[in-house]
């Protein structure tokens, strides 16, 4: 008997942990996974925006994904990572770093196995959750990071990171001198 070739469409996702929950994002959106590093705070930004880092010579805004999802803040550990994502919002490409407690696996999922998000209430925005996938250890929420932020939030994050002078960021990366950083940021404000 001939082998049956699967015609089900599959896609590949990067799974990561936030608190006790597992989330996943399509690997097409992931540029890189970085070890946690010193993040330079930017004044007058939303609480979930932790600051910026130097990523390949570019200023990369970093958000605390836990805080964005209204989860309790956690101490950073050696497993804490920054997932660098390439988002598309209104036909505009924006890079952002999303902090996660740890990276789990790269998983291949049959798209037909992703179940819709149950209706909770019209008060909760679940538009950014593509669906839920049942793994051996429970459910994994499949996220659409393009829809996690409002256009206004992305504009604010983008403007905040662009308002920093690249020379300041390079100085921060090279010297890693916290007093110098605060003085330079104060002078810029």
For the chain, give every domain's residue range: 10-184
Instruction: Write down the pLDDT at residue 177.
Output: 42
- pLDDT, the chain, mean: 81
- Checking phi first, is residue 56 left (phi over 0); if not, alpha (psi -120 to 50) or beta? left
Measured between alpha carbons, how far apart are the two ends of the chain, in Å?
73
Which residues lie across from 25 on neighbouring strands? 14, 143
> Residue 121: is its pLDDT beyond 50?
yes
In order of 23, 62, 79, 122, 147, the CA distances from 152 in angstroms are 24, 16, 31, 21, 12
Q: Which fold has domain 10-184?
A: OB fold (Dihydrolipoamide Acetyltransferase, E2P) (2.40.50)
Instruction: Write down the pLDDT at residue 110.
Output: 94
Instruction: Write down the pLDDT at residue 187.
Output: 46
Strands 10-18 and 21-26: antiparallel
């Amino acid at each position: 008997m001939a082998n049956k070739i699967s015609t089900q469409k599959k896609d590949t996702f990067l799974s990561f942990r936030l608190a006790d929950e597992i989330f996943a994002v399509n690997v097409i959106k992931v540029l890189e996974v970085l070890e946690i590093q010193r993040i330079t705070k930017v004044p007058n930004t939303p609480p979930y925006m932790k600051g910026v880092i130097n990523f390949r010579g570019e200023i990369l805004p970093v958000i605390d994904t836990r805080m964005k999802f209204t989860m309790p803040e956690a101490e950073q550990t050696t497993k804490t990572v920054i997932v660098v994502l390439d988002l598309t919002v209104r036909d505009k490409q924006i890079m952002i770093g999303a902090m996660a407690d740890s990276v789990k696996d790269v998983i291949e999922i049959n798209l037909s196995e992703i179940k819709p998000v149950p209706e909770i209430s019209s008060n909760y925005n679940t538009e950014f959750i593509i669906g839920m996938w049942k793994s051996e250890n429970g459910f994994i929420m499949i996220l659409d990071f393009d829809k996690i932020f409002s256009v206004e939030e992305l504009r604010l994050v983008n403007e905040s990171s662009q308002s920093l002078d690249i020379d300041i960021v390079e100085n921060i990366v090279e010297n890693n001198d916290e007093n110098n950083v605060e003085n330079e940021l104060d002078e810029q404000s």
